[in-house]
Amino acid sequence: MGNASPEVQRFARHVTRPNDEDGFAHAVDLFILGQPPLARTKLGLPPRARACLFGLDGVLTQTASLHARAWKQLCDYYLRQRAKSSGQPFIPFDLVRDYSRYFDGKPSLEGIHAFLDARGIELPESTVHALNDRKSGLLAELLRQERVETYEGTVRYVQAARAAGLRTAAVSASRHCAEMLQSAGIADLFDARLDAMPPPELYLTAARALGASTEEAVVFEDTPAGAAAARAAHFAYVIGVDRLGQPAELRRHGADIVVADPAALLASDEAP
């Protein structure tokens, strides 16, 4: 399989499931109808699903703007001081382009390194860590000032999953997962809350915390990188949550199905 194309590998993954009939039906839907089956259970999940892992930023909560603003405050302050001392022009942090390119869905330190590299800036690792700590403080200040907003469709799905007996986890590559859930008023909906780890380890650790194998856990992700990480970690089912109009990218990076909101999986089961 190592030399097979991604499409062939995904086909084989579905056909070779323990339940051959289920695997064949899934493959038929994928290659003839163009997508995997939506409503395989009342939650739109494979029958073996026992746990759901929900990405925090972009899936559960509308916190990307808070992260972006904290990074802008930090980076603009540093870049302005650097420009004054060097005599070079000050080029501010772009809330949309710089955040999405270097920070969104990535661990903080990885994002800082990527941003500094793009600006041609080399700093001692101790300084990079100090910047990361300062960003964390800025975000904490924003969290004290503002209530985190949720995506209500996802919250409704989490409630339905728990009512059906599935265990749930909220995961984030960034810090402050617990504080954000508390601010949003949904902390009690999760059996585990994990953050500040790279995505593959993050998902695997969350699954273990819920007592589920990768074959029993479903990952909900809103970024192509997150979907690819979940697929690389061999999770059996990955649901792409398309908030930015990039369904093809999510599918190409490993999402089995893409929905605009997880609540659509509930609605699909109720349709005639």
Judge whether residue 191 has pLDDT over 50: yes
**Of the residues 130, 145, 160, the one at which a domain ends:** 145
79 and 125 share one domain: yes
Q: Are residues 113 and 16 in the same domain?
A: no
Are 223 and 193 members of one domain? yes
Q: Please state, in angstroms and rounded to a whole number, the distance separating the CA atoms of residues 216 and 49.
A: 4
246 and 177, same structural domain?
Answer: yes
pLDDT digits (tens, 9 = 90+) for 72-97: 999 999 999 999 999 999 999 999 99
| pLDDT higher than threshold 90 for residue 20 | no
* Counted domains in the chain: 3
Regarding whether 70 and 12 lie in a shared domain, the answer is: no
For residue 212, the model assigns a pLDDT of: 98
User: Which phi and psi angles does 64 have, rounded to 5°?
Assistant: -60, -40
Cβ neighbors of 102 (< 8 A, separation 6 or more) are: 111, 114, 115, 118
Question: Quick one: pLDDT at residue 272?
Answer: 38
- Tens digit of pLDDT for each residue in 104-149? 877 889 999 999 999 999 999 999 999 999 999 999 999 889 999 9
Are residues 58 and 169 both part of a single domain? Answer: yes
Helices (H), the chain: 6-15, 20-28, 64-86, 97-98, 108-118, 125-145, 152-163, 177-184, 199-209, 224-232, 247-252, 263-270
Domain edge (last residue) among 117, 145, 173: 145
pLDDT band at 251 (very low <50, low <70, confident <90, very high): very high
Q: Which of 115, 145, 175 is a domain's end point? A: 145
Res 22 pLDDT > 80: no
Indicate if the pLDDT at residue 183 is higher than 70: yes
Question: Does the structure show a pLDDT above 60 at 151?
Answer: yes
Are 167 and 140 members of one domain?
Answer: no
Q: Which residue has the higher pLDDT, 121 or 2?
A: 121
In this structure, the answer to whether residues 219 and 168 fall within a common structural domain is: yes
% of residues, the chain, pLDDT over 70: 83
Alpha-carbon gap, residue 101 to 98, rounded angstroms = 5
Task: Indicate whether 116 and 10 sit together in one domain.
Answer: no
Same domain as 4, residue 46: no
The mean per-residue pLDDT over the stretch 156-176 comes to 95
Q: Which long-range contacts (CB under 8 A, 24 or more apart) does 138-142 make?
A: 138/70, 138/73, 138/74, 139/66, 139/67, 139/70, 139/175, 139/176, 140/176, 140/179, 142/66, 142/69, 142/70
pLDDT, averaged across the chain: 86
Phi and psi angles of residue 96, each rounded to the nearest 5 degrees, phi first: -90, -60
Residues 108, 239 within the same domain: no
CATH number, residue 187 = 3.40.50.1000
Which of the two residues, 243 and 13, has the higher pLDDT score?
Answer: 243
Looking at the DSSP bridge assignments, the partners of residue 239 are 220, 257
> CATH number of the domain that 71 lies in?
1.10.150
> Per-residue confidence at 267, pLDDT binned at 50, 70, 90?
low
- 268, pLDDT greater than 70: no
Q: Are residues 25 and 51 in the same domain?
A: no
Are 230 and 238 in contact, with CB atoms under 8 Å apart?
yes
Q: Name the band, by pLDDT with cuts 50, 70 and 90, for residue 198.
A: confident
- Provide the pLDDT for residue 107: 80
Angle between helices 263-270 and 152-163 (to 10 degrees): 60
Query: Which residue range is the domain that position 11 belongs to?
Result: 1-32
Structure tokens at 2: 């190592």
Whole-angstrom distance, CA of residue 115 vs CA of residue 63:
20
- Looking at the predicted structure, is the pLDDT value of residue 40 above 70? no
Burial of residue 245 (CB within 10 Å: 0-12, 13-18, 19+) is exposed
Does residue 269 or residue 199 have the better pLDDT? 199
